[in-house]
Amino acid sequence: MSAQCVMVLGTTSGAGKSWLTTALCRYYARQGLKVAPFKAQNMSNNARVVEQGEIGSAQYFQALAARAVPDVRMNPLLLKPERDTHSQVVLMGQVDEALSKMAWRGRSASVWPVIAKALDELIAENEVVVIEGAGSPAEINLAGSDIVNMRVALHSKAACLLVTDIDRGGAFAHLYGTWALLPENERALIKGYVLNKFRGDASLLAPAPQMLQNLTGVPTVATLPMWWQHGLPEEDGVFDDRSTAPGAVALTVAVIAYPRISNLDEFQSLKNIPGVRLQWVRSPSELAGLAPGDWIILPGSKNTSGDLAWLRRQGLDAAVAAHAGRGGPVLGVCGGLQMLGEALIDTHGIDGNAPGLGLLPLVTVFDLDKTVRHTSACFNADMVGRTGGTGAGGLILPNAQKSAPGPDPTHAGGCADAPANPWAALAGVPVRGYEIHHGQTAQHPAMAAASDVARPVLPNGLGWQNGAGNVLGLYLHGLFEDPAVLQALFGASLGGRPVPTLDAVFDGLATYIEQHFEAGVLSALIA
């Protein structure tokens, strides 16, 4: 094989490159072609585990859309920001300390041969490779050290689409300016413009598309209407505010959105559960309206001690502790689990020392070695708490919790007015997910000696629960992507409907672009 390459470039970050690349992967796969995604360099704290290490989440989902096995070659260079001026560098799935310490511009010569080799191998093994650029190809200050945009396009002889976010305004200026700043040999690779996130009457765009074509020789090949609920996890940043699934809101899930939040895409499925509202929280006032049974989630973090300090500066530590003290459900995932403990201990300068929130009697010690692996486990059958009145296979949402009978006061951590504990519904449920962490967490020895212990709910230190059962900490990412877990927690809310799948999302994306691209364009790109 020798693949034809299609590349998606953007006039800015956030223009829609990842979304469109994913859609193209599924579109070409549905034509019976062998397809692979590729992005030379991704900067994101959203990462997924593959057999050889970790890659950006966007490329992981693009591989699934292409019906391909995710592979480190699909994202050979991943930059994971830890501070404003420093990133951890992951090369071919593995952390590279030497590259992490190297100046930004100095990396190009070292990593380009690896990037080119990965791309060449994918081209040799597939019929179509769909490539995603980064930022804008017209960032002329970076052109001399480019390894992700036009250098990749020229190397692969890709047919390029240039996408812009028309909702921001200035779309035609962005398109023309980007084209004008490219040298002639790079301009020749741009085969079409794509207007993304359009709202309104498309006839009002005239005569701009034709004028732009007269200036550049490049046609506008698609106008994609705004689509808020396409279902694809965001690559970076939190989701838009339209995060309420169909139906009256019965449960609010408040996710703390600290500056170095990581792997936030694993909460995407909560947007599709009827009656659930997903809320991103940055201040205590946003937690003030939570019902006793609403959830607070502390997600993963690429800088746990730094994000914990930020959380305290905002006053969110007291707000989280108050919710937990009232019996409200709190979940910490990876870095969030570490924050829930008593202390972070770092003797290697990996993350930093810090006191924890003290909601679980645990201590985290940071290791030099990074744990990166897929994991399957089963929640203990004796998880603490109660589910309320619906029984197994359905979460009691807050409105129902208020009328549910109180627990037996003799039950561990029980109190007459405590809300129902959703985590008890996970008892005995098998779960699959992935781990990406430096920290290792265990019982606080002095507190354990005084009989203040956390209950292990998953084997090998993967999960812990407080005595009352309402505070749960897990190292396992992907909880809300596991159908068995969603069925256990939300079975009643789903009302017998199947758990929404990513595969259906990918098909929806492919159908969408097929409907809105000019006829014959997608086939012509690989002719």
Known catalytic residues are 334, 477
- 492-523: b (≥16 Cβ within 10 Å) or e: bbbeeeebbebeebbbbbbebbeebbeeebbe
- Coil, strand, or helix at residue 436? strand
Half-sphere exposure at residue 525, Cβ-oriented, CA atoms within 13 angstroms: 28
Residues with Cβ within 8 Å of residue 32, at least 6 apart in sequence: none
Residue pair 360/381 in contact by the 8 Å Cβ criterion: no
How far apart are alpha carbons 485 and 280 in whole angstroms?
22
How far apart are alpha carbons 464 and 361 in whole angstroms?
10
How far apart are alpha carbons 418 and 323 in whole angstroms?
11
How far apart are alpha carbons 212 and 261 in whole angstroms?
40
Residue pair 74/63 in contact by the 8 Å Cβ criterion: yes
Tokens of 120: 């060449």
- Residue 43, strand partner residues: 79
Task: Report CA Rg, the chain.
Answer: 24
The CA-to-CA distance between both ends of the chain, in Å, stands at 15
Tokens of 305: 């001690």
Region of 410 on the Ramachandran plot (φ > 0 left; ψ -120 to 50 alpha; else beta) = alpha
